[in-house]
Chain A
Amino acid sequence: MIKVRGLKKVYPSAVALRGVDMDIQDNEWLSIMGPSGSGKSTLLNILGGLDYPTEGSVSYDGKEITTMKEDELAVFRRENIGFIFQQSYLIPYLTALENVMLAQYFHSIVDEKEAAEALKRVGLSHRLHHRPSELSGGEQQRVCIARALINSPKVLLADEPTGNLDRENTRVILELLGELHSNEGFTIVLVTHDPYVAGWGKRLLTMEDGRIIKDESFHS
């Protein structure tokens, strides 16, 4: 369970978060919506240990991460968190397979068979040795999903994962995420401004001006 209490983030030029409190249950699919500048990406970065808050606490199963040092955070990230970004941040000169293996390398050691297996699960078994530039946007994002999940994280943090995709590809990606979510049982926190994408989650937080203004749960 992730507990967020009194989270504030102040940048020199602006205030991004003005006090956020929330709990995220294990195995939950949480969507966060809000206009740009509402602080949702900042929240996600702090949840993922990419950034430190100005004030407040974030704890995973009782373990506080805001007080961790840089290298402790790195260990925490590689063992617990998977990231998917809006742009498919892939290393351009490495093949799809190697991009996945890079995450393995940082986590522990590389295992090519396992990485190929992971790419097969996202439907890319025929694209193992292609560079990112040779893949479509949807395929790139699938590589990112495979990479994010290769180290069996407890939490998947997605920041506008379908922001650059058309509706059809968006649907494919979300279906894939849904399938993996129900199979592997990790928590998803997904930031978006697209209500269609947000609708895939079981719970929706709406943010505005650095605060959560609405917290809804759907049951389907």
Chain B
Amino acid sequence: MSLFIPEAFIGSIKGTIAISASWLVINSYLSSKNKETGPVHLFILILWFMLLFIAGTFIEFDAFYKDQIRRVSAYMFGLLLITAIFSSGWSLKREFRLFYIFLIMLLYGPDVMSLSFFLKDLSAMRQNFTGAYIAGITGFLSGLSLLFFEKKIRSGLSPYLSLTGLFFSLSAIKLLLGGTGGYAELSLIPAVQRGLMKFFHDLVHQLFVFFMVPDHPLLKTTVWNFIGLIFGEAFTMIATLCILVIPPLVIVLRLLKRPEEVPEGLKGAERRKYIHEFMLLNRKRAFPIFLFALMVSFFWFFKAESGPGLYIPQPVPVVEEEGFVIIKLKEPGRELGDGNIHKFILRKDEKTYRFFIFKRPDGKFSVCLDACEICPPEGYGQARQHLICIYCNTPIPFNTVGEPGGCNPIPVGYIMTEKEIKIEVEEILKKWRLVHSGVSRE
């Protein structure tokens, strides 16, 4: 086996290029405001990322927390996007360099940690510790080499950046390059879509409650089918595109407008020149924002073509009530029997236990731990025709969910009444002991 491992190189070069590019973009923006960052800032930044990397390498994290760290990355991205959209109305009087440094730290902190997990996994899987780390560190340094061209790139870039453009550029960089495994960013479109689906579902539900429409059986089948049709996958997919693309496009259109007022005393050719230059500058500033919209549409297009990916819902926290966890079959915004997996999380004695409830196509409810007996407990995702074990990629046919064995999730006994499912906490704790502890068997 060769010493050099390309995945490690690519993974880390992607990460550092993203960091360097963000740094460059921020510096270009700041230099147009006559605020430059110095080597001290860069030093702080590099130190921070090195610390995170080392922490990720030497501290053993639970799979659950690893997942949470990856999720934080996705949240940061969403936050950045929202900031970008709203920043078009801002006019900042003073801008703090440290704020931007802090922004990069936050934005890419989770990524760097994921990178360290990735390298660790890779070196274990390939049985080649040195190779993975040499490749990773080479990639890291190569990505940083972008910073040598800082002065050249900066002057070319700064006319294109407004505050809004800066945030959109950062989003674009993160979308393109962030995330070693492509966890956070590639899930942007499905995440928004799921959010929308839930929103529409809740909206309709609340409306029904508000107008006191009875839950008549007839109403259920016909009307809900109709609603399902409207707020189904195709609809939310298009709504997703609108939500992601319309705000930047509105900002772009606003930037393409003529100036509202022209200084007094400018006449004829001078006046036209003023307007022209104003528009040219704004057009340049609109460019990165437009590019962002274009990129998202591009990703959307591929997502729409390739169909839905793995559905991995966020676990809903539940509490113990007299030794039982009680989950209602129907709650506003959630219906256990809708054919999707519903994940829950229970905290007890400083430990977490994940389980999910799933109604199989044959009509039977299954309550299972979100883990099997043989894999490290990374949980399951839902594909079109089966569940998939996130750790080993093994497909689990829907109708076998709830049966023990293989890579199937560990089933948990439950009591079902008309309105709710009751699960004994003791049962969950007992079954969780079967869960593979993460240490090697044999």
Contacts and interface: CB of A to CB of B under 8 A. Distances in A.
B35 interface: no
A79 B270 CA distance: 10
A107 B268 CA distance: 11
B126 interface: no
Contact of B273 (A107, A114, A150): A107
Interface string A71-85: 000000001000000
Interface string A135-167: 000000000000000111000000000000000
Contacts of B134: none
A114 B275 CA distance: 14
Nearest to A117: B268
A104 B270 CA distance: 11
Contacts of B270: 152
Contacts, number: 25
B275 A109 contact: yes
A151 B268 CA distance: 7
Contacts of B268: 114, 150, 152
A108 B269 CA distance: 8
Interface in B228-273: 268-270, 272-273
Interface residues of B, number: 9
Contacts of A108: 269, 272-273, 275-277
Contacts of A109: 272, 275-276, 279
Contacts of B272: 104, 107-109, 111, 114
A74 to B, nearest CB: 15
**Residue among B268, B269, B275, B279 having the largest count of chain A Cβ atoms under 10 Å:** B269
Nearest to B274: A108
A111 B271 CA distance: 10
B279 A107 contact: no
B280 to A, nearest CB: 9
A198 to B, nearest CB: 29
**Residue among A108, A114, A151 having the largest count of chain B Cβ atoms under 10 Å:** A108
Interface in B268-324: 268-270, 272-273, 275-277, 279
Contacts of B273: 79, 107-108
B197 to A, nearest CB: 46
Nearest to A153: B269
**Residue among B272, B273, B275, B276 having the largest count of chain A Cβ atoms under 10 Å:** B272
Contacts of B275: 108-109
Nearest to B273: A108
B47 to A, nearest CB: 46
A150 B275 CA distance: 16
Contacts of A79: 273
Contacts of A150: 268-269
Contacts of A151: 269
B355 to A, nearest CB: 65
Interface string A110-121: 010010000000
A200 B269 CA distance: 28
B106 to A, nearest CB: 42
A109 B279 CA distance: 10
Nearest to A152: B269
B115 to A, nearest CB: 45
A186 B268 CA distance: 15
B274 to A, nearest CB: 8
Contacts of A114: 268, 272
Nearest to B279: A109
Nearest to B276: A108
Contacts of A111: 272
Contacts of A152: 268-270
Contacts of B277: 108
B238 to A, nearest CB: 36
Interface string A51-90: 0000000000000000000000000000100000000000
A102 to B, nearest CB: 13
A205 to B, nearest CB: 29
B259 to A, nearest CB: 11
A167 to B, nearest CB: 33
Contacts of B279: 109
A150 B272 CA distance: 11
B80 to A, nearest CB: 35
Nearest to A108: B276
Nearest to B275: A109
A2 B42 CA distance: 51
Nearest to B272: A108
A111 B267 CA distance: 12
A152 B279 CA distance: 21
Contacts of A107: 269, 272-273, 276
A97 to B, nearest CB: 16
A52 to B, nearest CB: 26
A19 B295 CA distance: 58
A145 to B, nearest CB: 15
A109 B257 CA distance: 13
A107 B274 CA distance: 11
B283 to A, nearest CB: 12
B291 to A, nearest CB: 24
A183 to B, nearest CB: 13
A191 to B, nearest CB: 25
A141 to B, nearest CB: 21
Contacts of B276: 107-109
A151 B275 CA distance: 14
A114 B269 CA distance: 9
A68 B208 CA distance: 73
Given A108-B273, A108-B277, 5 more contacts: A104-B272, A108-B269, A108-B272, A109-B275, A109-B279
18 contacts: A79-B273, A107-B269, A107-B272, A107-B273, A107-B276, A108-B275, A108-B276, A108-B277, A109-B275, A109-B276, A109-B279, A111-B272, A114-B268, A114-B272, A151-B269, A152-B268, A152-B269, A152-B270
| 5 nearest CB pairs, A to B | A108-B276, A108-B272, A152-B269, A151-B269, A108-B273
Interface of B: 268-270, 272-273, 275-277, 279
